[in-house]
Amino acid sequence: MHGSGRTVIIDFNDSFTYNIFELLRTTGCRDISIQPISSLDVQQFEIPDRIILSPGPGLPDEYPEAFRLLDRLLNLSKPVPVLGICLGHQLICSYFGAGLYNLDSVVHGQPCLISKKADDSLFHGMPESFTVGLYHSWAVVKPLPQTLRITAESKNGIIMAAAHENLPVWGIQFHPESFISEYGEQLLTNFINL
């Protein structure tokens, strides 16, 4: 069923989290909850059908509980699908061993044309290139660890999306919930149907 199962958004204290929540609702997803990272207890956390790691301030290392959550979710006999957005993307890439670097200038609310670099079900039904909204000052270092692959890049070569080779894990540097981004609803629909 379209949007069936429980979706939890892990909120890294970001105002965009509620925009993600609302965009998820437009996809037909009904059972959605928001779990603030500040009150997350990994051992007591009830495993959902899928997780979204929200955008947020700071760097991945500032959120050790998120790394513990990924440990739990991805080591189950049936790993839970995870989508990381912006900080969530950086957190996923860091979890698998990638580095980060500080951009020369902060990108806030800027449109960016990105291109798909690999066939991936997250981008099903979307064109080879499309415009997204960026809000970040850090990016993931190339090359990625062997367990990850780049699935989209900006024209200047910044990693805009990555996927794990074997696990149901995706990260996107851009904000699908931004009014600037094309195909945001399609991308989230694809994720909840994976």
Three-state SS string across 29-59, please? CCEEEEEEHHHCCCCCCCCCCEEEECCCCCC
149-182: per-residue pLDDT in tens? 999 999 999 999 999 999 999 999 999 999 999 9
Contacts of 29 (CB under 8 A, 6+ apart): 3, 7, 188, 192
pLDDT at 106: 83
How far apart, in Å, are the Cα atoms of 84 and each of 1, 44, 146?
Answer: 23, 22, 19
Q: 27 with 188: CB under 8 angstroms?
A: yes
**Active centre residues (catalytic):** 86, 175, 177
pLDDT at 3: 60
CB atoms within 10 A of CB 153: 18
pTM, entire model: 0.96
Q: What is the pLDDT along the chain (194 residues), one digit of tens a residue?
A: 456 799 999 999 999 999 999 999 999 999 999 999 999 999 999 999 999 999 999 999 999 999 999 999 999 999 999 999 999 999 999 999 999 999 988 888 899 999 999 999 999 999 999 999 999 999 999 999 999 999 999 999 999 999 999 999 999 999 999 999 999 999 999 999 98
Phi, psi dihedrals of residue 46, rounded to the nearest 5°:
-80, 125
Domain boundaries, the chain: 6-192
97-120: per-residue pLDDT in tens? 999 999 988 888 899 999 999 999
CA distance 106 to 110: 10
Whether domain 6-192 has CATH 3.40.50.880: yes
